[in-house]
Structure 1
Amino acid sequence: MGQVGMSRVKIYLGPDKMEARLSVLDSEERFPAREEIVRLLNEAGVTFGIDSNALETIVSQRQPIENRVIARGIPAPVSSETKIIWYVPHPGSRVAEPEDNQRIDYKMQEEFYFVKKGAELASLLPPENAVWGKNVKGEPVPPPPPSLKTLVGENIEIAPDGLSILATKDGYVLWRSGQMSVNDIYTVDGDVDFHTGNIRFNGSIQINGDVKSGFRVEATGDIHIKGSVDAATIYSSEGDIVIAHGVLGKQRAKLLAERSIFCGFIQDATVVARKDVTVQGYVINSQISAGGRVHLTGNPALIRGGEVFAEEGIEADEIGAERVIATRIGLTNSELRQAGQEHDALKEQLELSRQEAYLVEKKIDFLLLLQKRLGTLTPAKQTELESVRAKKIELAEQTTNLENEMATQLAKAQTVGPRKVIRVHQNLYRGVSITIGNQAADAASNLKNVNIYLKNNAIHIEPAQNGEDQDEV
C-alpha cells in the first residue's frame, strides 16, 4: 500500500489504485480543514471517486480516524460479449432430439471425443467494444481479461496467451462439475440412468452407483460398478467387469466380458466371460458361460436354477435344491468340441464318399451288363468303364482313410486334455443335470462333497478326498 501526506495525516493507495484510505491522527484543535484534506488527496494523485459525504462527516466530527475509505474507483465490467469457441463437444451440445416417430430418446448415448496431447480444446474470443473503468487517480482501467480457469480440470492447461486451453495427454474429453478434463478412465459419480444416458467409452469406466434397468454400458477396458446392476447390459470388449454388489436382472440383464467377471451375486441374468466368472455369493436362475472357471465363494455359495457352464471347472458349496428346481451344470472343452466337430465333418465326408462309391458301382454294373448284351463296348464306353473302375479304387482308398481319421478323432475326443472337475463342497441335489463334453447324466440322489468329471467317455461322481482342493484328479 502506498502512503503519502503529513506526519499526522496519511493517505493510503491500494496496489491496484482502485481505493484510497485516509488516516487523521490530529486532535480536534489541530484537525485539518476540508480544503487541506482535499489538497493532500490531490497531491497523492487522488482525483477521482472521492466520497464527498464521507469527507464532510470526517471534517464535521473532527475526531481522529484510521484507514477510512475516502475514494473508490470504478472497475471495468466483465463484458457479456466474451465468447468461448469450442473445438470439442461440450455439455450444451448434447440435446435429446425427437426421433422420426416424434419420441425423444432420453437414453441417448453420450458421445466421447478423443484428443491428442497438445490439442486445442476451446478458445476465448474477446469483446470488440469493451467498457473501461477508472481508478482513483483518474486513470483508465482495462476490463479484466476473460479467463478459462473455471473450465480447467485434470490434464488440461491454459495456453501461454491465456486465450486457449490445451490437452496435456492423449485421452477422451470428459466433464465434471462444469470442468473439462482429459482421461482414459471415465467416472460416473452416481447412477447410470436418464441423467447420464447409455455410455460407450473407449477406455475404462468406473461407476460409483448403480446401473438402472434398460440402460447399456460399453467399454473397451475394465468396467467397475460400485453398486448393483438391474435389467441392464454391461459389455467390456477387452477387459474385466467388476460389480461390487450384484445383479438383479429380471431375466433381461446381460453381462459380457472379453476377460473375467467378478460379482457379489447373480440373479435372473445372462453372463458370458472369455475367462473366469467369480461370484461372492449365489447364482440363481441365470445363464452363465465361462471360458475359464466359475468359482463361487462366500456364504451361500450356491447355484440354483438356470444353467452354468465353464471350460476349466466349476466350484460351489451347493448345486440344485431339495425341491427339484431345473438346474443344469456342465464343462465344455474347446479342444473336445473341436475334435467332435472335426469328427462330424469327417462323418459327413465319409457319407458323401460312400454315396459316390455306390453310384460308381451302379455305373460299372450297367456298363458290364451293356457289354454282355452287345458283346463288345464302343471305344467311348470302354474308356468310360476304365475311368469308373479307377474312380472305384480311388473312392475305396478315400473311404478307408476317412474311416481311419474318424477313429483317430473319436479317440482324441474321448481323451483330449487334462480332466476338469465340477467341485461341490457340500450338497449336490437330486435332479441336477450334468453335461461334460458330449456326455450327459442326472444326479440320481442327494450327494455331499463330491467331484464330478469325465473318464473313459463317461461321467463320474465320486466323493472328494479330505482336504482336496484341486481341479484335476
Structure 2
Amino acid sequence: MINEVVRLKISSDRMEAWLEILNVALINELDSSDLHTFLKEEKLETRLFCFDEQQWKTQLTETGKITVSKGIPHENGKDGYIEWFVQLEEILEEKEKTSFRDIKKIPTINKDMEIGMLIHPTAGKSGLDVYGNKIKSKPGKKVITKAGRNVGFDDKKNTFVSQIDGKLSISDKLIQVFDTYEWNEDLSLETGNIDFIGSVYIKGNVPTGYTVKANGDIHIIGLVEGAKLKAGGNIIISNGISGMDKAIIQADGDVIVNYINQASVEAGNNLIVTKSILHSQCVAEESILCENGSIIGGSCSAGHKIIVKHIGNLSNSKTEISLGINKRKREELEQFQKELTTYEINKNKLLVLGKQLQEKNNLTTNERIMLLKQRKMLEVTEQNLQKCEKAIEELQISIGNYQDLDVIVNGTMYDNVELNFGKYSRVLNREYKYIKASLKEKEIVIESLK
C-alpha cells in the first residue's frame, strides 16, 4: 500500500534519499513502522535515516517531499606542506626598485634560525552512501622537500634549521643555505671563470666565453652573452640572454630571465621568462611560464605546463612545443631499471649460494671465507637495490601523467607549430587564438579558452 502513497527517489550520487507524496488522502493510514519497513526493503542503511519520527507525515503533506536518508561524505586527506617561518617573497615591489633591471632580492638567513615546520599529510576519512556502501578517500600527498646543504632537520619539532649564516635557496626538492660570492662589475680577465661552492651575485655582464658555476644560486644583474652558467639552485638574469647559439644555461632550480635569444636553457624546476624566447632550446622539469611574451622558433619542453601569450609568428617559423618527460629523464629511468634487474639477479644468486653453504655440516676454511664474502656482497647488493628503487620512485613521480599536461596560449598560436605530448605529435596547419592544448584519449585536443 505504501507504494500508492509515496515514491522513493535517490540522488545520482546516492548521497541522499527522499520521499515524494503521491496520494495525500492516504497519508494518515501510514505510521513510522510502515516507513521503516519500506525503506529497509529498498535496502537503505538504517543508520543513515534522518526523518522526524513524529512530524514526517505533516512535513510530507505540507511540502510534498521530505529527505529520509543522508549519506556521509568522504573526506580526502590533506596534503602535507611546510609552514614557513621566513619571508619567501623575492619579487621586489615597485618602491623597492632602484632600476628597471631590479627583479628579485636575495633572501638571507642566520645560523640556528628555524626555516619552517614540516606538516605531515592526513589519511582522510571514508564515507557512506545511503545504501551503506563505503566511499573511499584519498590520502594526502607527502612533502618531497628535504633538508639540503647547510640545513638540518629537528625530528622532535619537525623543523628545518639553518646551520650557517647565508643565502636561503628553496626548490621543490631541497631547502639549502649557501654563502654568497659577489662581483660588482662585468666578468673580465681580472676575474676569469667563477667556480664557487655557494651562490654567486654578479652586478655586471657575463661576456661570451666565460663560465660561471655555483652550487647555490646565480644572480646576474646584466646581460649574459655566449657564456655557460651552471647552478645547483636557481639562476636569475635581470636583463636577458643573447646567446649567439653558444650560451648554455643549466639550473637545478628555477631559471628566471627577461628574455632568451639563441641559447640552450635547462631548468630543474620552472623556466620563467618576462618577454620572449627566440630560436632557443629550452627544457623545464616543471613548467615554462612566458605569460606576457612569445615563443618563436627552436624547441621548448616542459614536464607539466607551458603558459605563453604567443607561439610562432606570421612568418610561420617552425616552433616545437613538447610536454612530458624529457629525453634525459627517460634515459635515466631506463638505466636505473636495468641496474635494478641486475641487482635482483645477483641477489638471488647470492641467496642460493648462502643457502648451499649453510646446509653443509662441516665447512672448509675456504668455504667459511666464501660465506663471509657472500654475506658482505648480499648486504651491499641489498643497499644498491634500495637506492635504485628509491631513484626509480622519485623519477616516476616527476614523470607524472600525460593527462595532466597543458599548453595554454593567451594570444595567438601560428601555423607550423608542432605540439608533442610524450610520444603523441600534431603539426598545426592553421592559426589558433586563445586556446588550451591537452592530451585526451591519446589525441592532442585544442580547446578555446573563451
Common fold by TM > 0.5: no
TM-score (normalised: structure 2): 0.45
Larger Rg over CA atoms: 1
TM-score by length of 1: 0.43
